[in-house]
Structure 1
Amino acid sequence: MLDDLLVVGFDLETQREVHIGDRPLEQWRTLGYGRRETVVCFYCWHGIDAPAGTKVPLLARGRIGGLVRPHFAHPAGMAPPRGHHRETVWHINAKNRLARWAAAQPNVAQVRMEQWTEQRNRRADVHVVLDDGARLALEAQRELITDELWQARHRDYAAAGVRDVWFMRPDTRIPHVLFAEGTPAWTLYHRDETAEARLGEPHERGPQWWTKDLCLFAPHHPPCAGDPVVRERFPLADLGLDADGVTFPPAMTERLAEQAARVRWEADQARRQQEQAERWRHEAATRPARPWKPTPLPPVRPVPRPADGGPFCEVCNRPLAEPLVRYGRHVLC
């Protein structure tokens, strides 16, 4: 997996870590294997999976427009027998990539790798100071971390006035303790130089939902612990930094703002409907009762009687046939 196998170089002349993207390929080839051989494998030189001081000049591979991105590689037969540990390779690459990315931000004043806090109880993978004085710790996390260990780091950084920002290795599960503490988590991909964010899906709207935090009823970042999530992936170069951590590209920020505005409008409508219903109920409850008056019966229209004044039904007042005279009413009356 290329995310794990990108090799970091070490320049013996400058005594600094170097990355394939720092210079054109032809320059690296001049300094690498078979020529000057001053750019060697960082891991082998520093005793990672090999004796310290092992000098392995690197090859600069790749071509413009090729299927595989440019990268450093060991010459054939010169890598450690089992290769370098994938998680270690990813972690060192991540630190270098994050440091270069942070240094390219227009509002960043200082970037240092492996910087201790003032209390010397935490060492940030990449320590960043912004123009406004805000301090960030960019942490490249290569494996699953326990809730207790993460909380200890998070609180130590907070006590030192440092905002910790977490970038996880691909295929590493993100502990939801980060989300419970309101901390975003990003996944960093070396292969295409992208970073992936997780946004919480909108919460279900229950009774009186408009009285709660309206941000939860739109896609929200970071998600709440246990939320179903939506993944959004961005080129690392399109992301920025501020005192709260990583910032989205303008198009994503605008999209989230539109969705949040829609939720606020719907909440306002629901609130108004609720207030109107409450006013109607209050008016109905406080309206004075009207005295009851019986509804007058319609007047009885007299049935015309025959001029001869014959016997009539005592119920319907209509003429009776001779056999019914003795009963005084019709059969059905």
Structure 2
Amino acid sequence: MGTSRWRGLVNSGPRRPRAFTQDTAQVLAFDKKTRQLRYLPAGEGNGEVEPGVTWRGHVARGMLLCPATDCGLPFGRVVAGGARRHHFAHRPGEGEHDDVTGPETLWHLSAKDVLGRWAATHPSLADWTLHLDDTPITLPDGWRRPDVLAVSPDGVKVAFEAQYSALTGTDWKARHDFYAKAGVVDIWLFAHHGPQWRPATTRQRHRRELVWRDPDWAATVQLSGLHQTMLRHGVIPLWLDPTTQTIGTATTRVHPSNTSPGERLWEDSAYTLPPRRTFRACHVAADALQQCEVDLEAGELFTPARREQREEHQRLEQDEQAARDRASRHEERLQAEWDQHQQQERRRKDAERAAAEARQQIPLKEQFPPLFRQDPPPAKPPWWKFWPRRT
């Protein structure tokens, strides 16, 4: 089966939601009535925020405020037209946030709100207690306050960290070890913009593991030293797009090491796996947050992309084992043929040796009778043979 047919099989599956487009649309608003954040679902700008109350009407009455810490002004309208995602907008000349701190603070707030809403409604976390940025984890040598903390009835703790600012691999390792020492499962989600999101360069896209790309994969980004440190410790980097409520999983199209660079790649010669720690870039597979769940045994957020990676990893192990079995059988066959050849050579040499020994037991007179044959002397012709004839 060729590569083109394989791509057709990939495209025949369900398409993942479009995400990680670095959209700056504001989809969260602070409701003066409920004193809570309101999330505007995609395509619902013309709908109702609650029975009998539309989003547009709620905005017109000044009930929805901008949640950015440097703003707080009421939104002026709901943008619900065209191809862009439905979102809130300020009146012209109002609520102009700083390009660096404003959207980043807003998106971090959006990320925490999205994670809290997901944890509160997810079936696997139905009986868990949630804490949004208000419960620290303390140890004798320090403390950490996760963005979202989920606590099970039997005391299991899961900390969600939405990382939007720069962070080194050493600092992440220290925080990761802190949570491990405290017995807390830590799940890290990175921003879809800023220092945690840098598109891959053209040169990186030409690397072997990035040449093939699933059309449903959202983007191709660089892997920083922080991400490579995570991969070194068995943690797969994840990204969060709060605007579309989508989780991105680091993934690549990995080929077996025995495939030469010039060899044509067939369906069974590549596998969808997490990137290696030596990779400089990777693809991002996008999945809806509602399709994800917490895997306490593995200590990670289990996305559909991670499920596919695990299945592909099992397939890779099976194929590698099958290849080892084939190589072993081939080696055994070659060894058997060589042993048979050696045995035939030994039999031939043994036969020649036995024949030589047998010849040594035979007298030379019998071996070479012509050399020992004694012919009688020729008979003397009669005397008349020499008598001259009369003429």
CA RMSD of aligned residues (A): 3.6
| In 2: Cα distance, 1:141 partner to 1:241 partner | 18
Q: Percent identity?
A: 26
- The alpha-carbon distance between structure 1 residues 185 and 261, as it changes in their structure 2 partners (threshold 3 A), is closer
Match of 1:113 among 125, 132, 148: 132
Q: Which residue of 2 aligns with 1:225?
A: 277
* 1:102 aligned residue: 119
Aligned residues: 273
Match in the other structure for 1:284: 339
Tell me the CA shift for residue 258 of structure 1: 4.9
Report the secondary structure of 2:24's partner residue.
helix
Amino acid at match of 1:110: T
For residues 113 and 34 of structure 2, what CA distance do their matches in structure 1 show? 16
| Amino acid of the structure 1 residue aligned with 2:92 | A
In 1, the alpha carbon distance for the partners of 2:190 and 2:157 equals 20
Q: Matches of residues 167-316 of structure 1 in structure 2 within 5 Å?
A: 167-171=189-193, 172-173=197-198, 174=223, 175=226, 176-202=228-254, 204-205=256-257, 218-221=271-274, 223-227=275-279, 229-243=282-296, 244-249=299-304, 252=305, 255-256=308-309, 258-276=311-329, 277=331, 281=335, 284=339, 289-290=346-347, 291-294=349-352
Tell me which protein shows more helix as a share of its residues. Answer: 2
The letter for the 2-side match of 1:96 is: D
Match of residue 70, structure 2, among 27, 38, 49: 49
Alignment CA distance shift 1:269-1:19 (3 Å)? closer
Tell me: CA distance 1:248–1:82, structure 2 relative to 1, closer, same or farther (3 Å). Answer: closer
Question: Is residue 17 from structure 1 mapped to residue 37 from structure 2 by the alignment?
Answer: yes
**1:124: how far off?**
0.9
In the alignment, residue 182 of structure 1 is paired with which amino acid?
G
User: Hey, what's the Cα distance between the residues in 2 that align with 1:69 and 1:271?
Assistant: 51
Q: Distance in 2 between matches of 1:264 and 1:147?
A: 30
What TM-score, normalized by structure 2, do the two folds share?
0.58
Q: Secondary structure in 2 aligned to 1:293?
A: helix
Structure 1, gaps ≥5 residues long = 207-216, 297-333
What is residue 75 of structure 1 aligned with on the other side? Answer: 91
How far did 1:31 drift? 4.0
**Relative contact order (C-alpha < 8 Å, sep 6+): which is higher?**
2
The verdict on how the C-alpha distance between 1:259 and 1:278 changes in structure 2, with shifts beyond 3 A counting, is same
Give distance in 2, aligned partners of 1:134 and 1:274: 47
State how far apart, in whole Å, the 1-side matches of 2:317 and 2:178 are. Answer: 36
Corresponding residue for residue 188 of structure 2: 166
Contact 1:178-1:185 within 8 A present in 2 as well: yes
TM-score (norm 1): 0.67
Offset, 1:141: 1.5
Question: Which stretch shifts more, 164-173 or 175-184?
Answer: 164-173
Q: In structure 2, how many angstroms separate the alpha carbons of the residues matched to 1:159 and 1:203?
A: 37
